[in-house]
């Protein structure tokens, strides 16, 4: 039995006579100019929660982005959602931070109301609060979650981890107010934090890449995420995958299939989004066996790839299998139609094969509306003409075109270029990493140019 005394780590009070310690997971609200739910789930936080649960903790979750909250709906109205599990969140316009005052767009808090968030937090009596972090420029929501936790749970350790905590560790330690900042893998770093707090120390999973996750209905009922492999074999200068994963780690097709069936059987979930950075890499060993199991054994589900896939790894057998297994769309990370771009920044695409691969997708049954191509815009020193050229190149193939604005990501090679080029204080203020403010704008690529490129992509899309 887990019985606690009065004090363990200085300043943290330990409640008596508890059978299990309670870990409260918090997915905080988001402050941003725009936010759309394209399968946005706190995947890392849910994996940590499952690990703690299996190690003897009681685990509870407060999801501030819950779009089903009835109390918030009475105040803010019903957010528009789609049958595929995507859609809008609750939104309330708020005052812009001073550093963003010159941006001519409304700034908002996304998530359940402040009152509903606090009321949900009050339902629990935690021994440790674990707050997940997302984009570096979303840290205002993390501050809110920390402040609410501090007010409600006196002398309970507050821990933050995740993307922002890892990429902006120094900023997080100086600005957020948490007791602990876990930078990097929580499976490796969290045990020491729990030990210092006088709490039971879990043993990290033997195979972290295949660690299970909690599957709460409020998060995974409409749509769930699934990850077959971890990491990416490429070293793209604009991507942070290598910051989080030193190398590509092949997943387990059978375990991934069992995970899919568990979510479907328990929650009735039919929509699944892959979070993989390199879904098609070593596809013969993982993706194809996984999809073959889905085709042969069921269940009948819908698959989506919001992260995009590497076109170079496609072949007709794989494309046919994807269609048969239930892929409802295919999104491709082209980034640019210029060979020089790929030579300098990623080396991941053979442009000559692009027409053949698109034809292959259409032959397998994907319509032009079901094929999306990402074009990367707003890199340091990039001119608008390059983006227009890429948009017009893609438009010849009758597909959808998405202009993806570049966001400077600490820890990536291109971030150093961004520091030198941007007139925003991106080194000191993560709010200026936000791609909504176009942090790399200059006379060769203005905000007006970006708006024109987005409009052009809409006009030329299938």
CA distances from residue 214 to 41, 251, 460 in whole angstroms, order as listed? 12, 19, 42
Which residues face 302 on adjacent strands? 271
As given in the structure block, the two tokens for residue 414 are 């291109």
Q: Do the domain assignments include residue 283?
A: yes
Write the pLDDT tens digit of every residue in 73-105. 999 999 999 999 999 999 999 999 999 999 999
Question: Measured between alpha carbons, how far is 348 from 357 in angstroms, rounded to an integer?
Answer: 15
Residue 217 falls inside a structural domain: no
In a domain, 207, yes or no: no
Same domain, 290 and 422: no
Backbone angles phi, psi at 78, to 5 degrees: -85, 125
Residue bearing tokens 């139609």: 337
In a domain, 2, yes or no: no
Q: What is the pTM of this model?
A: 0.94
Residues 112 and 249 in one domain: no
Q: Is residue 232 part of a domain?
A: yes
Is residue 95 located within the same domain as residue 169? yes
Mean per-residue pLDDT for 273-297?
Answer: 97
Angle CA 238–240–242, to nearest 5: 115
Residue 79 falls within a domain, yes or no?
A: yes
**Total structural domains within the chain:** 3
At 187, the pLDDT band (50, 70, 90 cuts) reads very high
Is the same domain home to 60 and 187?
yes
Strand locations in 111-223, DSSP E?
128-133, 158-162, 180-182
Helices (H), 8-123: 43-54, 70-76, 114-122
Among candidate residues 196, 231, 266, the one where a domain is terminated: 196
Residue 403 and residue 375 in one domain: yes
Q: Please tell me the distance from the alpha carbon of residue 64 to that of residue 113, in angstroms, as a whole number.
A: 8
Structure tokens at 271: 């929509």
Average pLDDT value for residue range 53-59 = 97
Q: 370 and 293 in one domain?
A: no
Distance between CA atoms of residues 157 and 313, nearest Å: 46
Tens digit of each residue's pLDDT (9 = 90 or more) over 96-151: 999 999 999 999 999 999 999 999 999 999 999 999 999 999 999 999 999 999 99
Structure-token pair, residue 390:
């890429």
Q: Are 177 and 262 within one domain?
A: no
**pLDDT tens-digit readout, 38-48:** 999 999 999 99
Distance CA(100)–CA(431), nearest Å, equals: 8
User: Do 333 and 307 belong together in one domain?
Assistant: no
241 shares a domain with 181: no
- The per-residue b/e assignment along 75-97, b for 16 or more CB within 10 angstroms, e otherwise, is ebeebeeeebbbbbbbbeeeebe
- Structure confidence at residue 5 (pLDDT): 30
Which candidate, 363, 305, 282, 296, places its Cα nearest to that of 325? 296
- Which of 152, 178, 196 terminates a domain? The answer is 196
**Average pLDDT in the 341-363 region?**
90
Tell me the CA distances in angstroms from 435 to 105, 227, 276, 406, 424, one per residue in order. 13, 26, 22, 6, 12
Q: For all residues of the chain together, what is the average pLDDT?
A: 94
What is the domain range of residue 189?
22-196
Residue 431 has pLDDT above 50, yes or no: yes
Q: Which residue has the tokens 């890392």?
A: 44
Domain boundary residue, one of 264, 284, 313? 313
Determine phi and psi for 360, rounding to 5 degrees: -65, -45
- Rounded-to-integer distance, Cα 36 and Cα 373, Å: 18
CATH of the domain at 116: 3.40.50.280
Tokens of 8: 């363990």
Residue 13 in any domain: the answer is: no
The residue among 41, 39, 133, 141 whose CA lies nearest residue 87 is 39
What CATH code is carried by the domain that includes residue 293?
3.30.750.210
The distance of Cα 367 from the centroid of its chain, to the nearest Å, equals 27
Residues 408-419 pLDDT 10s: 999 999 999 999
With a cut of 90, say whether residue 13 has pLDDT above it.
no
For residue 275, pLDDT over 70 is answered with yes
Order of strands across the sheet that contains 330-335: 330-335, 371-377, 400-405
Q: How confident is the model at residue 351 (pLDDT cuts 50, 70, 90)?
A: confident
pLDDT in tens, 318-329: 999 999 999 999
Residues in the chain: 462
Neighbours of 446 (CB within 10 A): 13
Same domain, residue pair 378 and 445: yes
The CATH number for 333's domain is: 3.30.750.200
φ, ψ of residue 27 to 5 degrees: the values are: -100, 110
Whether residue 441 is contained in a domain is answered as yes
Are residues 155 and 253 both part of a single domain?
no
Alpha carbons 363 and 314: distance in angstroms, whole number: 13
Backbone angle region of 308, left / alpha / beta, with phi > 0 → left and psi within -120 to 50 → alpha = left
Strands 224-226 and 180-182, by their bridges, are unpaired
110 and 153 co-located in one domain: yes
Cβ–Cβ < 8 Å for 260, 294: yes
Place of tokens 């600490």: 410
């Amino acid at each position: 039995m887990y019985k606690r005394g009065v004090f363990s780590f200085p300043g943290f009070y330990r409640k008596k006579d508890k059978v299990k310690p309670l870990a409260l997971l918090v997915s905080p609200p988001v402050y941003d100019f725009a936010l759309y739910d394209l399968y946005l789930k706190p995947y890392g936080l849910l994996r940590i929660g499952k690990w703690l649960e299996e190690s003897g903790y009681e685990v509870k979750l407060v999801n501030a982005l819950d779009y089903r909250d009835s109390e918030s709906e009475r105040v803010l109205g019903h957010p528009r959602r789609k049958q595929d599990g995507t859609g809008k969140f609750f939104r309330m316009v708020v005052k812009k931070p001073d550093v963003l005052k010159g941006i001519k767009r409304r700034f908002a808090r996304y998530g359940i109301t402040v009152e509903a968030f606090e009321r949900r937090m009050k339902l629990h009596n935690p021994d440790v609060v674990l707050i997940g972090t997302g984009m570096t420029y979303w840290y205002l929501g993390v501050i809110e979650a920390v402040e609410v936790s501090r007010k409600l749970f006196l002398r309970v350790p507050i821990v933050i981890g995740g993307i922002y905590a890892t990429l902006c560790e120094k900023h997080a330690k100086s600005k957020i107010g948490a007791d602990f900042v876990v930078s990097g893998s929580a499976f490796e770093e969290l045990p020491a934090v729990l030990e210092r707090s006088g709490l039971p120390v879990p043993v990290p999973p033997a195979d972290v890449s295949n660690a299970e996750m909690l599957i709460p209905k409020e998060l995974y009922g409409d749509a769930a995420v699934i990850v077959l492999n971890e990491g990416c074999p490429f070293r793209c200068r604009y991507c942070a995958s290598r910051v989080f994963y030193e190398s590509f780690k092949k997943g387990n097709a059978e375990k991934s299939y069992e995970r899919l069936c568990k979510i479907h059987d328990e929650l009735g979930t039919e929509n699944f989004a892959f979070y993989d950075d390199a879904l098609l890499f070593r596809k013969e060993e993982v993706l194809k066996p996984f999809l073959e199991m889905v085709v042969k054994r069921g269940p009948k589900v819908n698959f989506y790839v919001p992260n995009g896939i590497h076109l170079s790894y496609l072949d007709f057998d794989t494309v046919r299998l994807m269609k048969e297994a239930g892929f409802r769309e295919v999104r491709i990370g082209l980034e640019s139609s210029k060979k020089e771009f790929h030579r300098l920044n990623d080396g991941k695409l053979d442009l000559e094969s692009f027409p053949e691969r698109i034809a292959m997708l259409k032959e397998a049954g994907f319509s032009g509306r079901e094929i999306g191509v990402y074009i990367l815009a707003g890199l340091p020193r990039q001119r608008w003409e390059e983006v227009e050229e890429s948009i017009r190149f893609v438009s010849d193939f009758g597909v959808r075109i998405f202009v993806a604005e570049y966001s400077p990501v600490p820890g990536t090679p291109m971030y150093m270029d961004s520091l030198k080029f941007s007139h925003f204080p991106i080194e000191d203020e993560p709010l200026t990493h936000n791609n909504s403010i176009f942090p790399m704008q200059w006379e060769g690529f203005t905000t007006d140019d970006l708006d024109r490129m987005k409009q052009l992509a809409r006009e030329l899309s299938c």
